[in-house]
Amino acid sequence: MGFTFQFILKLFATMFLSIILTPLLKLLSFKIGAVDRPGERRINEKTMPTAGGLSIFISFVVAIVWEFNDMLDAKQIWPMLIAAFIIILTGLADDIFEITPMQKTLGIIVASLVIYFIGDITIDTISIPFLGSFQLGWLSLPMTLIWILAITNAVNLIDGLDGLACGVAVIALVTIGLISYFFLPTNGVPLAIMIFSLVAAIAGFFPYNFHPATVFLGDTGALFLGFMISVFSLQGLKNATFISVLTPMFILGVPITDTVYAMLRRYFNKKPISSADKMHLHHRLLSLGFTHRGAVLTIYALAMVFALIALLMNYASTWAIILLVISTLFGLELFIELIGLVGENRQPLMHTLKFVGNRRHRQQILNKIKHKNKHEKK
């Protein structure tokens, strides 16, 4: 009971530190030129400070190094904090100078190498149902780098509306934290402590970021959150199983879905994969008439559905998981086509369902005609 009370008290201290720091770092953003000016691809109508993510980072570091230092292993936390600092510098450089996508990717790769070689957070083995376990060997490094790059950029891409990335990150982190605490055989408790420390830091920043926002996460915060989520999710993947791989993918279902369909959309439209557009998930909801808050809350709800499915996977059998995945992908594809995420004219599943429905309807009409003709002959 005493440990739980102290833990909760320290989380509140982390949250209050973030609450205090955010207004100060908002002023600093204007001083150093880390601002987001209105433009064709922007939602905001006035210049906004974009280094708000610094308050989350500082609060998290204080919590890990000072408040919870007696509960954590220094060999585990310092490589992670060094890598996170590299990410913060990369994001801050982008918020101030607008660096190129290649430069941003380079920063993420350098941080990922710190995690891999110094932090020893890797994917070494993968187990596939009905096939067995496979040692990745030299593929361990590229697999780990791809995992971190993909998730970091996916979270960064959804940072398009007030409070969106923060809320989705909190839902993902809480789910990873619960799974770590209850299902990870080793390192589960220390990992949960770090995860909920980050959640507390985000909670202090969130009131300033929810619509109407007074400060943005910026790439400083969005890259940091995406990177930390990728690193935390990797903790249970050293010896990856079917469930341990699928679980974080479903937890991060919203940013991963948005990223995958953005790549498909640009491929079909013959545009570079890295090109920007206003067809992301939140953009489509706004174009369909959703209010700013309505779009954000809808995506929160979708993220919670994914999180619930991820939790259920840890209790289900292999065949139940397979059926759950198929059902989820079917429903997700239908939702994506309904909102036109790839394009209003690209709806293969809906066209198929319409065809099946029309064919059945035509058959019913033909049967009625045949029955009527038989009746008239009699």
Binding residue ranges? 156, 219
Q: Which residues are known binding-site members for Mg(2+)?
A: 156, 219
Burial 125-136 (b: 16+ CB within 10 A, else e): bbeeeeeeeeeb
- Beta bridge partners of residue 135, listed in sequence order: 125
Tokens encoding 286: 């706004």
Of 10, 57, 7, 25, the closest CA to residue 228 belongs to 57
The sheet carrying 239-240 orders its strands as 132-135, 125-128, 239-240
Q: Are strands 35-36 and 48-49 parallel, antiparallel or unpaired?
A: antiparallel
What is 42-56 written as a DSSP string?
-S-SS-EE--THHHH
| Residue from 272, 297, 284, 273 nearest 346 by CA | 284
Check: CB of residue 148 under 8 Å from CB of residue 234: yes
Q: From the CA atom positions of the chain, what is the Rg in Å?
A: 23
What is the DSSP code (8-state) at residue 211?
S
- Distance, in Å, from the CA atom of 176 to the CA atom of 70, rounded to the nearest integer, reads 22
